[in-house]
Structure 1
Amino acid sequence: MLDHEKILIRRGPRSDLPVILALHSTALGPAAGGLRLWHYPDWRDGLTDALRLSAAMTLKFAVAGLTSGGGKTVVALPQGTRLDSARRRDVMYDVADMIDSMDGSYAVGPDVGTAPADMAVIGEVTPHVFCKPEDLGGSGDSSPHTAQGTLAALRALSRRLYGDANLEGRRMALIGLGHVGEHLARLLAAEGVELTVTDIDTSKMEIAEDLGAAWRSPDEIVTADVDVLIPAALGGVLTTQVVGDLRCRAVVGPANNQLATPEVAELLHQRSIVWIPDYVASAGGAINAITTELYEFGADQARARVNAIEGTVTALLETADDLGVTPDQAAHEMAQRRIRAAVPESLSHPH
C-alpha cells in the first residue's frame, strides 16, 4: 500500500540524471526534507531510499512536535559518475525546478552528498529551500545542531541507564567521522567520554589522535564492548546478524536508516539493548533549520527546541516501559497520534 501523497520521478533535462521527489505527508504542515546526491546500482534503489527517508522525516517532525511533514529528494547517480562544477549546477537547477513545481508544499535542504552551497544554487530558482549559507540569510551547516541533538538524546539515555545525565567516563563507540560524526565526537570528548571511533577514510585517524580517542576498524567497532554504540555514517549498520554480536547496552546515533530491516528493532528489544530511533536522535539539524528559516524562531528558541530532544527521549523511554513496547513503537504511536489529530484541519485547509 502506498502511503505517500505524491511521488515525482523525472529525468533532469539539464543533467540527464534521475531526480526523485517523495512527498510523504503534509498532514501537520508543508513538508521538508533533504536532497541526497548519491551513487546507486540502479535508480530504483534511489527511489527506495527516497520513500523510506521521506516517511522517516514525517516521524521526525511529528515526534519533535513541529508543524511540518516529511519529504525527500534523491538524485540517483549511476556508479562511477563524477560531476564537474557545471554539471553539478545543472543537477541543482533540475532539482530546483521540481521543488518549485510543488507550490510550497515541500521545501528542500542538504543531505548526504549536498551542502549549503548547493542550496544557494537551488535558491536562485525557488524560495522553498533551507540551510543556505549564513551570508545568504540561511542557517548554514546543520551538522553542529544534529550533533547537539544527539548529545541531548545521549543524556536522556544515560539518565535511564545510570540515573545520571552526566556522560563522563561512559564508554562509547562512534561509527563515522563525517560532518556530524566529527562534531559529535568533539562534544563527547569534551564531556569526558571514553571514546572509540572509526571511519572508512583512514585519514580521519588524525581526529582520533587529536581527541585522545581509540581507533578501531569499521568491522571491529560494531561489536566493541562499550556502553553505547553510536552510528553516525550511512544506514543499514544494524542487521539481524550484527545484533546477535553486539556487546553494548544501547544504540543511539544520528545516522539515518540504521536498521537494515524493521524487525531488527524487536531483536534489539529482546536482547535488552535500548535503541533510540534514528529519526528522534538525529532531529537536531532539521529542527534548527526548520525553526529558524521556515518558522523564523530566534537562535535561543531554536536551540531550546534542539535540546528538548532530551525530554522527548525521556518520554519515549517511559512510554515504552509503561506499554511494554520498543522505543520505536512508542515513537511511532506518538507521531501517529499527532498526525491523526491534525488530519481534519489539514483536510479543511489543504496545502
Structure 2
Amino acid sequence: METLLEEWDGESVSLHRDRETGAWMFICVHSTALGPAAGGTRMKHYERVADALADGMRLSEAMSLKFASVGFPHGGGKAVIALPSPAIPEGESRRRLLHEYGRFIDSLGGLYSCAPDMNTSAADMDVIADMTSYVFCKTEAAGGSGDTAPDTAVGVLHGIRASCRHAFGSDDLSRRSILVQGAGGVGGRLIELLTEADATVIATDIDPARLAILRDKGIQVVEPDTALTTPCDVLAPCATGGVINADSIPTLQCRVIAGGANNQLATPADADRLHERGIDYAPDFVINAGGILHGGGLEEQHWTRQVLDAKLQGIGDALSDIFQRAEREGISTDTAARRIAVARIKSKAAETQALRARI
C-alpha cells in the first residue's frame, strides 16, 4: 500500500478497521479545490486490502473530474468498505457496520460526504445519517433526494444524443441501434428512455431474470459474452468498469461508446486506441454526472425540477464541447475532457491560494 500512496496525486486517505467484522474502511479524498469532497460508498469484498485502496483512489479521482466537468462545487472523494468475505451483510449486522462507518465519516468533520454506490442504497444512507450529517441521497421519506439512477440515465440519454450528433450529424435516435450493457438501475431506466425515443434497443445483463423480463417486453437481448462484439451504432456500458480495454477494442463493432458505467476504460491508453479506431467515446465521468446533479442539486443547492432538468441537458452540451476540442487538437476525447476538468480545478486552487495570500 505504501507504493500506492506514494504514487497517488490525491490529497488524503483516511482508514478505519471495524474490529467486529475485520472490514477495512477507506475514505479517499482526491481534491478539495472546488469544495469539500463527496462521492459514493462502495461495499464489496476484495482479494487484497490494497485492491480496495486502489479502487477508492481511482474512483475518487474520477469524482474530482466529474464535479469539475459539470461545474459543481465539490471535490472528489470515494469510500470503500472492504468486506472480509463475499457475503454482503444484511439486517442488524449491516446496520451496525453502517453505524460504525457513519461515526468514521463524522470524525473527519466534513472533509467528505457520502452517497450510495455499489451495494449501498438510499436506505443505507438513512442508517448512516443516524451517526453523521455528511450524507447525500437519503430516501425521500427521510428528507433526501432518493434514488439517483433515473436522473443518471437522463443525463446519459442527453450524452448519447450529443454523441450521435457528432458522429452521425443527427441526434435522431429513431435512426440508431443502441446496445445497453447492464439493465440495473441506470441501464434499466436508460432502456425505457431509448425505447420512448424510438431507438432500436439491444440489451444484455448477467442476470438471466432481467434478460427474461426484457425479452418479454419485446426488447432484443444478447448474451453478455457476445455483447461487445454485437454490431450497433452506440454501445452504452452501464455495468462494471474496465470493459473497454486492449483486448475488447479491436473487436468492437460500434461507432460510439456512451454509457453510464464508471471507469469504462481499463487504462488511459484505451482512449487513444478508440481514437485510432475512429470510435467516439463519451468520457464516463462526464456522461454519468446526472447522479451528482440530482443528489447535490436537489439537497444542497435546492434546485427546482426545472433547473435540474436544464443541468442534465447541459451534460450533452459539455460533451459537444469535448468532442469539438478533441477534434480540433487531434487528441482523444478522454484527454480533452481531463484537460478541461483539470484546468478548472487548478484555476480554482490558484484563486483560493491568492485569496489566502491577501488575508
TM-score range, shorter chain: over 0.9
2:338 aligned partner:
332
- What's the secondary structure of 1:7's corresponding residue? strand
Q: What displacement does 1:286 show?
A: 1.2
2:105 pairs with 1:99: yes
Match of 1:11 among 3, 12, 17: 17
Match of 2:211 among 205, 213, 227: 205
Are 1:42 and 1:78, in contact at CA under 8 Å, matched by a contact in 2? no
Q: What displacement does 1:236 show?
A: 1.1
Q: What displacement does 1:346 show?
A: 3.4
Please tell me the residue identity of whatever aligns with 1:184.
L
Q: What displacement does 1:267 show?
A: 0.5
2:69 aligned partner:
63
Q: Where do 5+ consecutive residues of structure 1 fail to align? A: none
Separation in structure 2 between the aligned mates of residue 289 and residue 273 of structure 1, nearest angstrom: 32
Change (3 A) 1:144 1:213: same
1:139 aligned partner:
145
Change (3 A) 1:204 1:74: same
Q: What displacement does 1:349 show?
A: 6.1
1:313 aligned partner:
319
Separation in structure 1 between the aligned mates of residue 350 and residue 271 of structure 2, nearest angstrom: 32
2:249 pairs with 1:243: yes
Instruction: Give the TM-score taking structure 1 as reference length.
Output: 0.96
Q: 5 Å matches for 1:145-294?
A: 145-294=151-300
Per-residue CA deviation, residues 154-183 of structure 1 (Å, 9 max, x unaligned), is 010111122222211311111111111101
Identity %: 39
Please tell me the residue identity of whatever aligns with 1:10.
H
Are 2:44 and 2:86, in contact at CA under 8 Å, matched by a contact in 1? no
Are 2:174 and 2:198, in contact at CA under 8 Å, matched by a contact in 1? yes
Are 2:272 and 2:332, in contact at CA under 8 Å, matched by a contact in 1? yes
Q: What displacement does 1:207 show?
A: 3.2
Q: 5 Å matches for 1:75-114?
A: 75-114=81-120
More off after superposition, 338-347 vs 150-159:
338-347
**Deviation >4 Å, runs of 4+:** none
Are 1:51 and 1:72, in contact at CA under 8 Å, matched by a contact in 2? yes
Q: What displacement does 1:13 show?
A: 4.0
Change (3 A) 1:211 1:315: farther
Are 1:174 and 1:181, in contact at CA under 8 Å, matched by a contact in 2? yes
Separation in structure 1 between the aligned mates of residue 216 and residue 322 of structure 2, nearest angstrom: 35
Per-residue CA deviation, residues 68-104 of structure 1 (Å, 9 max, x unaligned), is 1100000112343341311111221122112112211
2:30 aligned partner:
24
- What's the secondary structure of 1:80's corresponding residue? coil
Q: What displacement does 1:211 show?
A: 3.9
- What's the secondary structure of 1:76's corresponding residue? strand
Per-residue CA deviation, residues 6-28 of structure 1 (Å, 9 max, x unaligned), is 10121124543111110110001
Please tell me the residue identity of whatever aligns with 2:92.
A
Are 2:167 and 2:280, in contact at CA under 8 Å, matched by a contact in 1? no
Q: What displacement does 1:137 show?
A: 0.9
Change (3 A) 1:181 1:349: farther
Please tell me the residue identity of whatever aligns with 1:154.
I
1:323 aligned partner:
329
Separation in structure 2 between the aligned mates of residue 313 and residue 207 of structure 1, nearest angstrom: 32
Q: What displacement does 1:344 show?
A: 2.8
Please tell me the residue identity of whatever aligns with 2:11.
E
Q: What displacement does 1:295 show?
A: 1.9
2:347 pairs with 1:341: yes
Per-residue CA deviation, residues 111-152 of structure 1 (Å, 9 max, x unaligned), is 010000000011111111010000111000000010000001
Please tell me the residue identity of whatever aligns with 1:278.
D
2:43 pairs with 1:34: no
Q: Name the count of aligned residue pairs.
A: 350
More off after superposition, 80-89 vs 193-202:
80-89
Separation in structure 2 between the aligned mates of residue 283 and residue 127 of structure 1, nearest angstrom: 23
Instruction: Give the TM-score taking structure 2 as reference length.
Output: 0.94
Per-residue CA deviation, residues 261-295 of structure 1 (Å, 9 max, x unaligned), is 22111101100011111111111011111111122
